[in-house]
Structure 1
Amino acid sequence: MEDLKIIGSEEWCVFKSLGVPAIKARVDSGAKTSSIQATSLKVITKNNQEWVKFEVTPLQENRSITIPCEARLVDRRMVKSSSGISEERLVVKTPVTLGEDTFDIELTLANRDTMEFRMLLGREALTDRYIVNPAVNNQIQEFTEDEISARYKPYFKEKTGLKIGLLASNPKLYSNMRLMEAAEARGHEIVFLNVEQAYMKLDAHSPEIRYRGGNILKDFDAVIPRIKPAVTFYGCAVIRQFNNLGVYCQNSAESITQSRDKLFASQLFSKNDIHIPITGFAKSPMDTKDLIKMVNGAPLIIKLLESTQGKGVVLAETNKAAESVINAFKSVNTNILVQEFIKEANGQDIRCFVVNGKVVASMQRQAEKGEFRANIHQGGKASMIKITQEEKKLALKASKALNLAVAGVDIIRSNKGPLLLEVNSSPGLEGIENATGKDIANEMIRAIERKLKFS
């Protein structure tokens, strides 16, 4: 026992054969086998033996450094995670260096993104070598921040472009994939951030935004918010935190919140002399008849205050039907808007895509036969259209009223001239890029470059 060294609860490990200069491990005598962060696992044959190719992201707070590794496969084991879920893991054998000692250990390969440490040092590695003192850290070897930076200097990429965060929910959506492509094509680093996996530290001295597993999100130049309606409140909180940290957000939290509240947006439009279909809002069922009369009677449109992509929008074709639907919504305390129906539009509307005070593309949407909404998500067809000066001014005025740098502005043609239907703060790119052939994703990235004076 006297020959055993004291090891702390956290220690730095070096894997020369894997090419990992240093990785901080949590020392856990309760776990039998050691484990290391590993992704992109692939079993290969080498010298008639099974080996594993994998990638290690060794620094907890820097996801940009990924090291390709190879090690001999020695086993496949069922391992129960800390959450109680059993899974098969590949086990490799490789030398590890702790201070002056180098010895072989077995490592299970696991995705530890949600764990606090990139490595766990188990009791098989400790037995007959160390005694654990959980009250101290780095008893075997300690690296300063400068030493870690020096060890990882060859892995740091020279910054040639902006670092952009795409704050959304689904990386597979057409719009999100196009923005990633466009940013990379212009030489920028762009990182997809799932808005629901970001969280915040609110502190006057050191505010932070962290991402799953404790990674600190820093050094971002800009964020492109594409927040789905279901997470508007939380998404806007994250956007505000980025803004507080000095990161440029292409659409602000305030502008997104305003655009999602159809009642408040309609009030802003009225205040700024922006023409919309006659719209009514009331609380009491006693006023339903007058509300219907106020918007010129049926047929009329009934909208949920936070509807999107054509969902939550109903056409009531008679006064009696309108009364029934309105009162039904009111009975369950659901807020709605009642809006006049523009019959002469014949199921058509116009989507103008605005980027930094300029209409970069426009398309006409035609509703499917028997439908009254021309939304593409509801089966509408899109085609290129040349808009009038009056329509262009209306689109720019509407996006400016909501202070949106990027907006999808929906306009309807009526006998009274163009009318504003609504403004979308996270407009989709697929329909309008396909209809117009324009590279709107590139326009959005260029707009960020101009805003940040990047050349």
Structure 2
Amino acid sequence: MLDKVIVGSEEWCSFPTFNIPAIKARVDSGAKTSALHAVNIIPFDKDGEKWVKFDVNPLQNNGKTIISCEAKVVDKRIVKSSSGSRESRYVIRTNIVLNEASWEIEVTLTNRDSMGYRMLLGREAMSGRILVDPEKNFLLGQPTTEKLEEYYNKSKSDKKGLRIGLLASNPELYSNKRIIEAGELRGHEMHFLNLKYCYMKLDANQPEIHYRGGRVLNDFDAVIPRIRPSMTYYGCALTRHFESLKVFSLNSSTAIAQSRDKLYSLQLLLNNGVDIPTTGFANSPLDTNDLIKMVGGSPLIVKLLEGTQGKGVVLAETKKAAESVINAFKSLNANILVQEFIKEADGKDLRLFVVDGKVVATIQREAIPGEFRANIHLGGTATVIKPTIEEKRIAIKAAKAMNLKVAGVDIIRSAKGPLLLEVNSSPGLEGIEGATNKDVAGEMIKAIEKHFNYK
């Protein structure tokens, strides 16, 4: 017992492995596991093992002091917080220093912005080493304000690169990890910003964007919105708020919103001279027969306007089937498009990836044999293909018409020539980078650098 250190209910400790010289911890023998405040948590592979990158704001109510860290993952487990909620967390091991003694502990990574302490020291880490006097605080001393400034007040002139936020929902998605990686390789400070954790202050004098726990996101140079369809309304509102704060958005909120409106986007494309498969739209089921004739009869494609890519798409092979599908959707008050079926495409389409007015990569996608594919990509194999000059022209023209700096443009080859199917404002990178071995994520970062004349 004499060898054990007596501590109060809160103490200062350090993590030399992460270059964190001082962080205030809540000493809690009621908690089994220790927890460290971490944001921008990004998993990655290193030498065949799972690692994780994360940022630590070591000082409470100070979002500008950021320590970037990485560690090997030892586990991922469900942890029950003091509020009773359950959360899946990465678990790492690192050395903690307390009163000049150092030993290895297990730590879970979680956003503790809403908590009073950046660090929670649980009983597993204390076992055999520490006794707690809950009536006392800082029995081991605490750093002065001047000392903390000395530790963390690094000159901003030493900071290089741009501060870029990736607005998305899933940090483990290939595309999101690649964009973070590409930005860091080019020397920028990259941050994953979960859309659901952001909220806005609308104010004439001091508009702000806050992150979970109250951190103010007021110092970003640029954001890259990658908004899933279910988050379109909120994601566009958030992107628009960043834009009002003079933060550059790689794809603007207006461009994203109009790209998600299938009917409006097709009208925009036609108004800009881009050919599409013949398409019909009607409000009343009484016009079903003429609607079918208008697009060339059966077989035809029926698409839900609110459907996401590859979903809400039905191939009606006969006139009777087409009438049944259209009337079924109409009875549910669902808005639909009907579109001619391009039989000669034979289950294939092209995905041209456009960045800043240039086609940077192209693949041909072919459906899995026996699976339905209706003028739209539903999965299968991807192969490298050289697009024609006309196909590249259409892709560039389509991206420009939609005002998108980054776009996945889907084109189908028909007897009438290339026809545009869809323009995606948050195109995935895995298939096209895997097939072409091109650094598409890097091209996206270069487009941001070009806007800032960054060299």
Change (3 A) 1:292 1:25: same
Percentage identity across aligned positions? 57
C-alpha separation in 1, matches of 2:227 and 2:87: 34
Q: Secondary structure of the residue that 2:191 maps to in structure 1?
A: strand
Trace 1:36-55 onto structure 2 (pairs within 5 A).
Answer: 38=36
Q: Tell me the distance in 2 between the aligned counterparts of 1:428 and 1:84.
A: 32
CA offsets 1:34-55 (integer angstroms, 9 cap, x no match): 9996259xxxxxxxxxxxxx99
For residue 437 of structure 1, report the CA deviation from its aligned partner. 2.0
Q: Name the CA distance, whole Å, in 2 between partners of 1:376 and 1:435.
A: 19
Distance 1:206 1:118, change over 3 A: farther
* Greater alpha carbon shift after TM alignment, 322-331 vs 169-178: 169-178
Q: Is the 8 A contact 2:171 2:192 kept in 1?
A: yes
Q: Which residue of 1 aligns with 2:243?
A: 243
Q: What SS class does the counterpart of residue 175 from structure 1 fall into?
A: helix
Pairs within 5 Å for 1:6-405:
15=12, 38=36, 57-59=57-59, 60-62=61-63, 65-66=66-67, 81-83=82-84, 111=110, 113-118=112-117, 127=135, 149-154=149-154, 158-373=158-373, 378-405=378-405
Task: Name the structure 2 match of 1:436.
Answer: 436
What are the Cα deviations for residues 324-351 of structure 1, in whole angstroms up to 9, with x where unaligned? 0011111111111101111111111111
TM-score normalized by the length of structure 2: 0.75
Assess, with a 3 A threshold, how the Cα gap between structure 1 residues 445 and 285 changes in structure 2: closer, same or farther: same
Residue aligning to 2:125: none
Find the residue that maps to 1:255 and give its secondary structure: helix
Unaligned 5+ segments in structure 2 are: 1-9, 39-53, 70-78, 101-106, 121-131
What one-letter code is carried by the residue in structure 2 that aligns with 1:432?
I
The structure with more radius of gyration: 1
CA distance in structure 2 between the aligned counterparts of 1:359 and 1:283, rounded to whole angstroms? 37
Q: After TM superposition, give the deviation of residue 158 of structure 1 in Å.
A: 2.7
Closer, same or farther: CA 64–433 of 1 in aligned 2, 3 Å: farther
- Measure how far apart 1:217 and its partner are: 1.4
Deviation track 1:396-452 (CA, whole Å, cap 9, x = no partner) reads 111111100000001111121111111000111111112222111111111111111
Cα 1:66/1:359, change in 2 over 3 Å: closer
Q: Distance in 2 between matches of 1:156 and 1:125?
A: 41
Structure 1 Cα separation of the partners of residues 166 and 345 of structure 2: 36
Q: What CA deviation, in whole Å up to 9, does each residue of 1:86-111 have, x standing for no partner?
A: 99x99x99569xxxxxxxxxxx9995
Q: Which amino acid aligns with 2:291?
A: L
- Indicate the larger mover: 372-381 or 204-213: 372-381
Given the superposition, is the C-alpha separation of residues 318 and 245 from structure 1 closer, same or farther in structure 2, using an over 3 Å criterion? same
SS, match of residue 227 in structure 1 = coil
Distance 1:339 1:292 in 2: 9
How far does the alpha carbon of each residue in 1:240-294 deviate from its partner, in whole angstroms, 9 at most, with x for none? 1111111111001111111111011111112222111111111111011111111
Distance in 2, Cα, partners of 1:119 & 1:160: 27
Q: Over the residues paired in the alignment, what is the CA RMSD in angstroms? A: 3.8
> Aligned pair in 2 of structure 1 residues 25, 305: CA closer, same or farther (>3 Å)?
same
Q: CA deviation at 1:126?
A: 7.5
Deviation at 1:84, TM superposition (A): 7.3
CA shift in 2, pair 1:264/1:126, >3 Å: same
- Aligned partner of 2:254: which letter? E
Matching residue's letter, 2:63: N
TM-aligned CA deviation for residue 61 of structure 1: 3.4
- Check whether the contact 2:295–2:339 (CA below 8 A) recurs between aligned residues: yes
Partner residue, 1:43: none
Distance 2:447 2:137 in 1: 59
Q: Which moved more, 1:163-172 or 1:304-313?
A: 304-313
**1:117 Cα deviation from its structure 2 partner:** 2.9
Once the 2 structures are TM-superposed, how far is the Cα of residue 234 of structure 1 from its aligned partner? 0.7
Q: Matched residues in 1 for 2:68 and 2:226: separation?
A: 31
8 Å contact 2:37–2:111 — kept in the other structure?
no
Shift of 1:142: 9.5
Would the alpha carbon gap of residues 446 and 58 (structure 1) be closer, same or farther in structure 2, given more than 3 Å must change? Answer: same
Shift of 1:392: 1.2
Q: Deviations over 1:296-329 (max 9, x none)?
A: 1100011111333312111100111011001111
Task: Give the Å deviation of 1:15.
Answer: 2.7
Amino acid at match of 1:38: L
Asked whether the 8 Å contact 1:38–1:110 carries over to 2, the reply is yes
